[in-house]
Chains A and B, each alone.
Chain A
């Protein structure tokens, strides 16, 4: 705990950059990043002690008046995620942040430290007050960070949308906390665990808690802020928001599910599972339609949070069906996938930052052939894309496999036809999600990094400076390490959710999962060895200098192929757009501009937009309703003072009468 407090202080020290003299901006930036690296390192290091302690709930109270700090295994898991992401992304930001020299870089460094500090504070909060205060600091600081490039109109509107949405979420969480705390007559988490909430109030508290945390983690239909806020923020901020902040919402929800509300009711888990599955598929489907690199990644975050929550929901369902031992695999799946998503999404947001740095654009339609200009970035981005498509030898498949195993475990126990239908639905969704994710990242990587340059902006692209590449490389190494040797991470994470009893076997061979006559195994290390074994022969047979001698331009019916003949990103996703047009509802418009000649040289203008389903069907009507209802208040808002005095008098009389009658 001492280390935790120390790390908080170091973060605060990093925030000194706010008042650093303007002349030494660069020094301030270095100082800020150094502080955040050191503090995050401390967080990651000390989180291991909470995770590794045999007692999974290890409490240290440090009462400063009403405020309590505590850390147990559940917070330890998220502290580890935060610490690792904090170190790596801060390393990346050493060079990336230099792009903001002259545009409030001192504030950026200070806010960066405060953001990390508030996340850590949320994770070690020991009572509802501290939690809400830390949560609110996190919301405000991240709002300021999203709004950093406030010269752009789009950024400001995205930031305010985020502000409004996140506060709706905070309000819901506060209600949930209030209900639990008033039943327990204490704000401390320890006491709140022994609350005597009645069944009905418990349902209400659960719904508020799930609503609030689902909003913060971007589950559909509450994801609406996410695809706007992530592209607006500086890239390292989006990496941290997507990699860590979304997980903090899972942390909060887990606290409620494990400690405060319990998981005895079947439909709690059911709701979480179904919402998660729908978010997973719709998120990745929208991601496949986007052409803005950061929006692709933002929607993919919706997908991955969906997978994580569906696994968590599956665990809750198994628990409510009285299979606490079996539910371990599902909770472990959620945690492992959360950790691996933090790695891979951190990597890809950082590489999106690299691409923006190199080309000045986020639109993949303008790119192509970047792999030749920036080979190292391309390599690391490839690893990230593979991980997000859950390919073998990456951490993505470990989480995905555990998720699939938890649903299979559920299927074993689901005897009745209704539950069978639910299982079938889950597997259809997971199958669609997995395959679409592959398509999405093949498309993003293929269009941006392979082929030929589509516009001139690629011409001036260059390889990235050292620290940016170092950030990418560290994430990539961790992804492959977890992918090939998953036992370390899996053992850590399952220790958190199962206490001391180890059910899910993580051994040097891989991950084994068994229980009540059921058994499955995934051993990436062995597969890797076999792959390497064949690979040696293949390389010896194929990659000889004699194999590749001739280079010829592709036969193109007698003409020289141009870069515009390549498939575009929009074209690439066309079959999927058509297959799911019932959901996506694409709006097409073709206009003919025929000024000069009726037949020759007329210009065609083609427009395609895919509005977000929930934006059109849910938020716009809601917004309209709000505006209409508030305009109806115009009638009583006359503007003359005497009328307002009248209102006050009426109100007082009503209160007096009420007081007398009661």
Chain B
């Protein structure tokens, strides 16, 4: 009992730590992008200022919205936070409340409420975002399942702490490298980054995640942004801990991953919506090869 309480406490602390650095990582990604585009760019602390600004502003609701609309950002944030408490390798140790599948389904809970809320404001933009989010998530899900499968075959468990990569065993083997590349592709799609979605705009042609949040303002908006920054950090940490077959500190992996996202986002254009299935098909094929090679 004592062990459980301590472990839950440590998990919560880890969640808060990741929450604190999340806007910084998002700021670093933006800074890298700006420098690569020969711009000065905003300070890496800009996201903190933005979140504080939104937090202070008034929250305006559309008269047609209901309970789901005000509930969704909170659930979304809470699922991201919950995912942050489950990431292995920082403070959590061997303790787990759920395995990798539960991790996926907890994030799916956030998606469930966000897509519902997109329909609650009764505008066409919201529905468009929700519809596309579902489309992307359907294509991402098989790849996520295969990514879990490969590590669980290798380490005989689906708990995240057991799935942490073993450098002696999987140091640059074919299967480890393929899985690493594939998970990076999956990560970009899961977090609505280029080339699947463009986080910078909410134009009609590109919008997916940003247009689901179009109706939000004030505290609710800041929660959504905080939740999605946190989700990127969680995925970067998971990517580093589970799939990068190089022995360097996890914090450094997260930082390098953020820089890599910045570079990839600068080099690539937004893909056509219906090309995404080819992109994620590639990730699935890579994972398939990795599983056969394992």
A binding-site residues for B, Cβ under 8 Å: 368-369, 371-372, 382, 386, 389-392, 397, 400-401, 404-405, 408, 411-412, 417, 420-421, 423-424, 427-432, 434-436, 438-439, 442-443, 445-447, 450-452, 509-510, 517-524, 526-527, 529-531, 533-535, 538-539, 541-543, 547-554, 556, 561, 563, 565-567, 571-576, 578-579
Instruction: Write the chain B residue with the least CB distance to A541.
Output: B219
The majority secondary structure among interface residues of chain A is: helix
Task: Name the 7 nearest CB pairs between A and B, nearest first.
Answer: A567-B127, A575-B135, A446-B119, A435-B141, A431-B142, A439-B134, A431-B145
Q: Would you call B99 an interface residue if the criterion is a C-beta within 8 Å of the partner chain's C-beta atoms?
A: yes
Knowing A533-B12, A547-B59 touch, does A438 contact B112 (C-beta < 8 A)? yes
A628 to B55, CA, bound (A): 73
A431 to B280, CA, bound (A): 13
> How big is the B interface, by class?
35 or more
Are A579 and B102 in contact, with the CB atoms below 8 A? no
21 pairs, A vs B, C-beta closer than 8 Å: A392-B109, A404-B101, A428-B146, A432-B138, A432-B141, A435-B140, A439-B115, A443-B134, A446-B115, A446-B118, A451-B120, A521-B98, A522-B99, A548-B61, A552-B60, A553-B62, A553-B63, A566-B119, A573-B131, A575-B135, A579-B277
Instruction: Write the chain B residue with the least CB distance to A379.
Output: B67
- Per-residue CB contact flags for chain B residues 154-180 toward chain A (1 = under 8 Å, else 0) read 001111001000000000000000000
B binding-site residues for A, Cβ under 8 Å: 4, 8, 11-12, 58-64, 66-68, 70, 74, 77-78, 81-82, 85, 96-99, 101-102, 105-106, 108-109, 111-112, 115-116, 118-124, 126-128, 130-132, 134-135, 137-146, 149, 152-153, 156-159, 162, 215, 218-220, 223, 273-274, 277, 284, 288, 291-292
Are B142 and A550 in contact, with the CB atoms below 8 A? no
Across the interface, which residues of B come within 8 angstroms of A567, CB to CB? 119, 124, 126-128, 130-131
Across the interface, which residues of B come within 8 angstroms of A543, CB to CB? 70
Min CB gap A531→B, angstroms: 6
Are A550 and B59 in contact, with the CB atoms below 8 A? yes
Instruction: Write the chain B residue with the least CB distance to A550.
Output: B60
A417 to B288, CA, bound (A): 11
Are B111 and A438 in contact, with the CB atoms below 8 A? yes
A237 to B240, CA, bound (A): 52
A408 to B145, CA, bound (A): 10
Knowing A397-B105, A530-B12 touch, does A427 contact B131 (C-beta < 8 A)? no
Q: A427-B145, A451-B119 are in contact. List 11 more A-B contacts (CB 8 A).
A: A368-B122, A438-B108, A439-B135, A442-B116, A446-B120, A521-B98, A521-B99, A527-B97, A554-B215, A572-B127, A574-B131
A547 to B162, CA, bound (A): 43
Min CB gap B100→A, angstroms: 9
A538 to B67, CA, bound (A): 15
Instruction: Write the chain B residue with the least CB distance to A452.
Output: B122
Across the interface, which residues of B come within 8 angstroms of A382, CB to CB? 68
Are B123 and A408 in contact, with the CB atoms below 8 A? no
Among B77, B112, B128, the residue within 8 A (CB) of A391 is B112
Are A392 and B102 in contact, with the CB atoms below 8 A? yes
Are B121 and A554 in contact, with the CB atoms below 8 A? yes
A435 to B66, CA, bound (A): 25
Knowing A427-B142, A438-B137, A563-B122 touch, does A518 contact B58 (C-beta < 8 A)? no
Among A371, A510, A561, the residue within 8 A (CB) of B66 is A371
Across the interface, which residues of A come within 8 angstroms of B137, CB to CB? 435, 438-439
A535 to B71, CA, bound (A): 11
Knowing A431-B144, A575-B273 touch, does A445 contact B116 (C-beta < 8 A)? yes
Are A520 and B157 in contact, with the CB atoms below 8 A? yes
A434 to B60, CA, bound (A): 34
Min CB gap A572→B, angstroms: 5
Are B101 and A401 in contact, with the CB atoms below 8 A? yes
Across the interface, which residues of A come within 8 angstroms of B111, CB to CB? 438
Are B59 and A571 in contact, with the CB atoms below 8 A? no
Min CB gap B73→A, angstroms: 8
Knowing A526-B4, A527-B102, A534-B81 touch, does A424 contact B291 (C-beta < 8 A)? yes
Knowing A566-B124, A576-B135 touch, does A390 contact B63 (C-beta < 8 A)? no
Min CB gap B199→A, angstroms: 19
A103 to B281, CA, bound (A): 54
